[in-house]
Amino acid sequence: MARKPIKRNSSFPPQNNQSMYVGVFLLIVLLGTLLVLQFTSQPGEKTLTYSQFLGQVTNGNVALVRIEGQVIQGEFKNRVENASRFVTILPLMDEELLPLLKQAGVEIIGEKVKEQSGWSLTWMIVGGLLLVAFLLFVMRGAQGGDSSRAFTFSKSRARLHRENTNKIRFSDVAGCEEAKQDLQEVVEFLKRPEKFNAIGARIPKGVLLVGSPGTGKTLLAKAVAGEARVPFFSVSGSEFVEMFVGVGAARVRDLFSEARKHAPCIVFIDELDAVGRSRGAGLGGSHDEREQTLNQILVEMDGFDSSEGLIILAATNRPDILDPALLRPGRFDRQVVVDKPDVKAREAILKIHTRKVPLADDVDLSIIARGTPGFTGADLENLVNEAALNAARNNRKKVTMEDLEFAKDKVSLGPERRSLVLSEEDKWMTAYHEAGHAILGHILPLNDPVHKVTIIPRGQALGITYHLPEVEKRSIVKEEALQNIIMAMGGRAAEELKFGKDYISSGASSDIDHVTRFVRTMVCEWGMSEVLGPVRYGETEGPVFLGKDLVTRKNFSEKIHELIDEEVQKIIAQCYSEAIKLLKKHEKKLDLLAKTLIEKEVLTADDLKELLGEAPKKQFPRLELIKKELEHPAQA
């Protein structure tokens, strides 16, 4: 399909409008002058010529005059045309005026000439401020020189990226291969629409990208436009809504009008939930500007045919709160999930972000990828940047593995706090606490291998034990969960074992919080309690009047609640008891590890292997038995 030539809407005001601005300026000056005259003139005052003034004096109808320079103001004895006061100008010095006034018995008051009236000065300042405000408004609306934007409230704020300026391709996006495969059909349609039209297929009008913040939804949309080599309109959902009623809907109409002129093209709406929330979600279900904008989006998406070559992409991290009318077939009828990357995807993302970063020979990106579970693409980009900054700070020309490890720790846990002064008691308490975690993590076969132990304070923590997953986990078995709890309670268990119950510290607060929530999840959601069984306790729901913000509703009795609390306490107590028993068995290794931490402050996986020996191999005994039975089934 040939791309249509670019056309521009004529907008108000026209582009060559210097004369119009001059007219507006003169109008403001005129209005300012009228305001000054309005506020400085006195009501009921008649303007006389000098001859008329002399006639009134001769007739004896002037009671009082005030002379200020050449300005003469006075009061009539009898009203003249319903005016009790008058004003006139003395054209020349008249030496006969004063004798004439005295002869007529007129009271004469002389006043000093004033430089400027207070009201006049005030309104000159106000007029100047109005003029400055007007010029600033024009400049702000110009947006890079286009002064016609000053009055175009209803014009779309979408940014147009030309096909020859968008250099982003699918090769620049890693970690979301399934999403790229789904979007490849959109690219193919924009390139060769006749292939789909010939068979009667209809490409989706709208594609909704769903994923956590930082997973690359906007980058994917730009890559689609870059691959298809078509114009790309980018706008945020919040840019539609203004304080003026009807502006959002007008901007939606203008956006789709411009997009049709540049078809084939892509329109990308970021943060769709800003205008796409379920209607009636406000308190009382009132109609507001956002709902009017949403209604216009729905109308526009119904009003175009996909054969026009207009594709709507949108991104959100809250698909649960979107209006159902947006998600029905014919609008956003395809959802593409952009999930957090797994270990292989993280390694691919790191390779992309290190293209322009010189790496040392010791760098192994697979280790960094394994040690960053839960990181998004944006997090990994920040990690690489922090590593490069650290290398430059230390006058290195290449980024080393040490820089990447430093950046990983800084991004996930915060910067080191070497300036924090710890007492001797705190150092030993922290060393034994982290040694307890490390030993249990090392000897329990279903735990992730310990990667590093440090007693250097980071963020709010005085010490940290790092684990490096061997594989990406998608599920967890009960025994593995219990071993994780035992390892997490190892810090508190080591403190009690070496210092006694009366000298345990508050350093285990985060461990206790994590374990409590984890065990409650095991009992209430995963069905890992023998007493309560495989039942879900607690339902998640979203009240409409709160915009479907998730809350948990209690759907069980007080008796069940007591059983849940008892099960949580029982599991934690059993795991804590097991942690103390294991540490007593390996108390010599605990002492050795704590002493070494005091000396070195940081221990790597190789150091732990040297001190504690080889870690047991991770295995699931029942799984091995099942494999053997399948390979050699028993004879009936």
In whole angstroms, give the CA distance from residue 87 to residue 84.
11
434 as an active site residue: the answer is yes
Tokens describing residue 407: 């950046």
CA distances from 295 to 210, 237, 335, 341, 516 (A): 22, 14, 20, 35, 46
In whole angstroms, give the CA distance from residue 220 to residue 186.
12
Find where tokens 């990181």 sit.
375
- Dihedral angle, C-alpha 241, 224, 230, 172, nearest 10 °: 110
In whole angstroms, give the CA distance from residue 381 to residue 379.
5
CA distances from 397 to 354, 360, 400, 404, 482 (A): 14, 9, 9, 14, 46
Catalytic residue among 258, 434, 495, 567: 434
The set of residues, in sequence order, having a beta carbon less than 8 Å from that of 271 and lying 6+ positions away, is 236, 237, 238, 315, 316
CA-atom Rg of the chain in angstroms:
40
Query: How, if at all, do strands 334-337 and 450-454 pair?
Result: unpaired
Q: Is the CB of residue 266 less than 8 Å from the CB of residue 230?
A: yes
CA 539 to chain centroid: 29
- Dihedral angle, C-alpha 81, 86, 87, 93, nearest 10 °: 110
- How deeply is 233 buried, as exposed, middle or buried, from its count of CB atoms within 10 A (0-12, 13-18, 19+)? buried
* Residues labelled as active-site residues: 434
